[in-house]
Amino acid sequence: MSALSEILYIPCVWAIYWQIKSNSSTCYIFMFYLGIMDTIGLFLSVGWYAANTTTLILAINRCLVLYDEDIADKLFKGYRSMMWLIVPTVVGLECIWLSPPVFYNPIDLSAIFNPHRHYLPDDDYVSVCL
């Protein structure tokens, strides 16, 4: 089912890419980047972190356009929208060095941060159930 969803998602991202060329709205740049990061986020947590940050920037962009289009143009018009995309890229790359890796544990049938769970005592990783 996930593969089918991903196959159907590719034409949507492609259509957003063509909207960037024909439309002057900066939201399409953010949505295209978000689509790429969503696809990467299926396999790597880097994409998940970057996609979440991009969603926040897209929300700020859309709210500013509704509130005052002049302010939105000053912050997001032209090359400035690409400058905003540096933030989610840095956040995504930051998770490579600062986040513990996620491992699949067949005993728990889940992805966990502690690779030694059920095997060795390890206090470096703590599992928290919220």
pTM exceeds 0.85, yes or no? no
User: Taking the mean position of all CA atoms in its chain, how far away is CA 7?
Assistant: 18
Q: Where are the domains of the chain?
A: 2-99, 102-130
Helix axes 27-41, 45-67, angle to 10 degrees: 160
Written as tens digits, the pLDDT of the chain (130 aa) is 678 888 888 888 899 888 888 877 888 889 999 999 888 887 777 888 899 999 999 999 999 999 999 999 999 988 898 999 999 999 988 888 887 777 777 777 887 777 777 777 766 656 565 5
- Contact between 89 and 40 under an 8 Å Cβ cutoff? The reply is no
